[in-house]
């Protein structure tokens, strides 16, 4: 596993990325997180990392208490993300309860900016 980190203070690449959160599908911007630390968890794909993302989701309130937000990012589409979130937990999903946004980076262009 490879870790990449920006120097603090640093700035993340700009632009918009499609994703889903508890309200549904939307376009996200780094500017949505201005004034907060942003933790982007890049992972291989939905249904492969449920335990890790569930742990981040469960800890979201702790991250928020230190002005940080966690988002997940994979090459899966927003439709796949929505399906995964709605899938029962015993089948590898989140039973509709995920406390973080999932971004869709099908071409890996955002991920490559942190290589």
Per-residue pLDDT tens, the chain, 115 aa: give them: 455 555 555 666 677 899 999 889 999 998 888 889 889 999 989 988 889 999 999 999 999 999 999 999 999 999 999 999 999 988 988 998 899 999 999 998 888 887 7
Backbone angles phi, psi at 9, to 5 degrees: -80, 145
User: How many contiguous H segments (helices) and E segments (strands) does the chain have?
Assistant: 4, 5
Of residues 12, 41, 49, 83, which has the active-site annotation?
49
Q: Can 73 be counted among the known catalytic residues?
A: no
């Amino acid at each position: 596993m490879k870790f990449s980190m920006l120097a603090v203070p640093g700035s993340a690449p700009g632009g918009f990325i499609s994703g889903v959160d508890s309200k549904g599908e939307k376009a996200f911007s780094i500017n949505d997180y201005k004034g907060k630390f942003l933790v982007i968890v890049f992972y291989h794909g939905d249904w492969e990392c449920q335990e890790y993302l569930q742990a981040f989701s469960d800890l979201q309130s702790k991250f928020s208490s230190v002005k940080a937000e966690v988002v997940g990012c994979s090459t899966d589409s927003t439709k796949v993300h929505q399906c995964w979130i709605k899938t029962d937990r015993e089948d590898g999903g989140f039973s509709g309860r995920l406390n973080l946004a999932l971004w869709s980076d099908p071409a890996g262009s955002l991920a490559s900016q942190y290589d």
